[in-house]
Amino acid sequence: MAYQFKKRIETLLKEGRHSKKSLYDTLEMTAPGFEYMLKHNTLSAKRVEQIAAFFQMSVAELTESQQVGKPVEPATFGAQVADRILLEFEKLREQLAIKDKQLEAADRKLEAAMETSKGLQRTIDALISRPGVTAGSNFLNDVAAGRSVIRMHPATQLIIEARGAVA
């Protein structure tokens, strides 16, 4: 059976004295779209996360069912508490595994970016080591345009050198 978010969200709205409008504005939704989503229980994981953030709680707290207290036998109370703690640790372990996977994906992206930057650095080094390109040379003489190299007119070269001497 799927979790019914509508009752839980309406309860939280009343308890927190929030309006539906403030919630669907936060979710960047229209009123009819928000109502349809609640009525048909078609919340995505992202929406559930946004709703939990709106109510300043974790997703686990949002999806917990409101349990009615049952009388507990004193002999089994300790075992029940231990079971609840174990369940909570299991949830935390699952969340940690998800975070680990996210970190691994971010590491792979970072490594790919570093490899790309190494390739770019090799290209830059190759361009700098070309004959005629030194610290004192004018790189504009060797600007590539398409497949041909544009040579600067000697008069323009003199003007640039004169401006460089003035500056």
**For the chain, domain boundaries:** 5-63, 82-129, 135-167
26 close to 19: Cβ distance less than 8 angstroms: no
Q: Which of 63, 36, 35 is nearest to 49 (CA)?
A: 63
pLDDT recorded at residue 3 = 74
- Which among 56, 50, 44 is positioned nearest to 16, based on CA atoms? 56
Q: Up-side HSE of residue 81: CA atoms within 13 Å toward CB?
A: 7
Query: Topology of domain 5-63, per CATH?
Result: 434 Repressor (Amino-terminal Domain) (1.10.260)
Q: Which of 165, 160, 111, 114 is nearest to 138 (CA)?
A: 160
Q: What is the pLDDT of residue 131?
A: 59
pLDDT on residue 87:
92
> Count of residues for the chain?
167
Alpha-carbon torsion (97, 102, 105, 106), positive or negative: negative
SS3 content of the chain, % helix, strand, coil (to 5): 70, 0, 30
Location of structure tokens 């969200």: 9
Q: Which residues are 149's β-sheet partners?
A: 144
Q: Give the C-alpha separation, 121 to 127, whole Å.
A: 10
Q: What is the pLDDT of residue 154?
A: 75
Side-chain half-sphere of 167: how many Cα atoms within 13 Å? 6
Q: What is the pLDDT along the chain (167 residues), one digit of tens a residue?
A: 467 788 888 888 888 888 888 888 888 989 899 899 888 888 888 888 998 898 888 888 877 765 555 676 777 888 888 899 999 999 999 999 999 999 999 999 999 988 888 888 888 777 777 655 555 555 544 544 444 445 667 777 777 777 765 54
Which pLDDT belongs to residue 1? 46
Cα atoms found within 13 Å of the Cα of residue 106, Cβ hemisphere only: 6
| Cα 40–chain centre separation | 28
SS3 state at 72: coil
